[in-house]
Amino acid sequence: MAVLLSTKSDTMMAAWRDALRAVDPSLDIRLFPDAGEPADIEAAVCWTQHDMAELRRYANLRLLVSMGAGVDHLMRPPGPPPGVPVARLVDARLTQGMTEWVLLNVLRFHRQDLEYRALQAARVWRELPAPETSARRVGILGLGELGTAAARAIGALGFPVMGWARRPKAVEGVEAFHGADGLDAMLARTDILICLLPLTPDTRGVICARTLALLPRGAFVVNAARGGHVVAEDLLAALDSGHVAAAALDVFEPEPLPGDHPFWSHPRVLVWPHAASITIPSSAAPQVVENIRRAREGRPLVNLVDFQAGY
Ligand code: NDP
Ligand code: OXD
């Protein structure tokens, strides 16, 4: 039985093949589109470009794995083949990368880096009023693997941290909110908003004119989750009116961000090419091999996706 790998570049494909083989040299690995005999494929490890309809060719598929933490690409219609369980990545290095990226942007905004760069461009030597860490409230949308790690790191620096999840949560040092009322209550007190939600029908467009208006004037927006969480025109309007002071955006809809999109040249927008945290195959491979073994043996999978919740 064989494992099908499908990702965007040949280099990444080779890195995944080598990483999986380093964990289990006996694996028969096929690189899409060279799947060989379709009936051989028992597991597929896919990234965002793979068409879910194509997976229906593999009658013996018993496991689908996302090459990232997010699974929205696998849930897009027509979705995974019926009856095939889906696992995602929960990986220490992916979490570390995201924590670093979030900290980078929180500190950039908190320490007025955009203002100091503008002063540098104008060759102006001027000290701005010192910001107060304990007065800069950070609100995180999503208190899962990534959101919780980011919350802890931000809290450790002395920022008051809040987080919003689907269900009630208890995270030490974090004021937790949930549900629609919880969202509005958190936004009203959020000076730096960070999005680390999965993209589902419930979370699409969560950062929109209504929710942006709830933020205090001069708040910052940091989105590392998915482009579909943000209504781009609403964010641009909030930036142009000064209601939102600046935004750091790593994810867009569509990707790559089209060359003529206003985000590229907006003086208050920091654009990243979906690189906040990049999966490192050698770090992620052990859990993927573990799931392949578990699927073969009919044992419960790790990092299983809840189809009902969509993440
Ligand atoms: P998790 O599944 O661990 O956490 C998701 C969190 O979102 C949970 O706290 C969950 O609530 C909450 N949530 C889900 N739906 C809702 C809802 N309707 N209302 C309120 N809260 C909700 O995911 P991860 O932390 O591992 O990853 C989050 C996302 O980050 C990924 O899905 C992916 O899109 C993105 N990502 C981006 C990367 C990049 O480089 N830009 C890299 C890696 C991931 P509850 O706790 O109640 O379940
Ligand atoms: C992920 C990503 O979901 O990199 O892991 O976006």
273-284 confidence digits (pLDDT tens): 999 999 999 999
Q: What's the pLDDT band for 30 if we cut at 50, 70, 90? A: very high
Atom of ligand 2 nearest to the CA of 276: 4
Question: What percentage of the chain has pLDDT greater than the value 90?
Answer: 100
Dist. CA 236–CA 238, nearest whole Å: 5
Dist. CA 70–CA 54, nearest whole Å: 20
Q: Do 193 and 219 meet the contact criterion of CB atoms below 8 Å apart? A: yes
How many Cβ atoms from other residues are within 10 Å of residue 45's Cβ? 28
Using CA positions, which residue lies closest to atom 1 of ligand 1? 144
Task: Tokens for 174, please give them.
Answer: 């974090």
Q: What's the 3-state SS for 23-43? A: HCCCCEEEECCCCCCHHHEEE
Task: Tokens for 229, please give them.
Answer: 């969480």
- Residue to probe by mutation, ligand 1, list 48, 75, 197, 272, most atoms within 8 Å of CB: 197
pLDDT in tens, 39-97: 999 999 999 999 999 999 999 999 999 999 999 999 999 999 999 999 999 999 999 99
The pLDDT value given to residue 304: 98
- Residue to probe by mutation, ligand 2, list 47, 48, 279, most atoms within 8 Å of CB: 279
Using CA positions, which residue lies closest to atom 48 of ligand 1? 166
Rounded to 5 degrees, what angle do the CA atoms 244, 247, 251 make? 135
Task: Tokens for 289, please give them.
Answer: 């091999």
Picking from 60, 64, 27, 24, the residue whose alpha carbon sits closest to that of residue 47 is 64
Dist. CA 56–CA 180, nearest whole Å: 37
Using CA positions, which residue lies closest to atom 16 of ligand 1? 166
Q: Do 70 and 284 meet the contact criterion of CB atoms below 8 Å apart? A: no
Of 226, 293, 296, 299, which one is the catalytic site residue?
A: 226
Q: Do 60 and 39 meet the contact criterion of CB atoms below 8 Å apart? A: yes
State whether the beta carbon of 69 lies less than 6 angstroms from ligand 2: yes
Ligand 1 site residues (CB inside 6 A) read: 68-70, 94, 98, 142-147, 164-167, 169, 196-200, 202-203, 224-226, 250-251, 274, 276-277, 311
Give percent helix, percent strand, percent coil of the chain, each to the nearest 5: 40, 20, 45
Q: Which ligand is nearest to the CA of 309?
A: 1
Query: What is the CA(10)–ligand 2 centre distance, in A?
Result: 18
The pLDDT value given to residue 44: 98
Question: What percentage of the chain has pLDDT greater than the value 70?
Answer: 100
**Catalytic (active site) residue 76:** no
How many Cβ atoms from other residues are within 10 Å of residue 202's Cβ? 13
pLDDT (average), residues 128-141: 98
Of 136, 274, 293, 299, which one is the catalytic site residue?
A: 274
Picking from 61, 24, 57, the residue whose alpha carbon sits closest to that of residue 42 is 61
Task: Tokens for 276, please give them.
Answer: 């906040």
Q: Tokens 């699974």 appear where?
A: 71
**Catalytic (active site) residue 56:** no
CA 181 to chain centre: 24
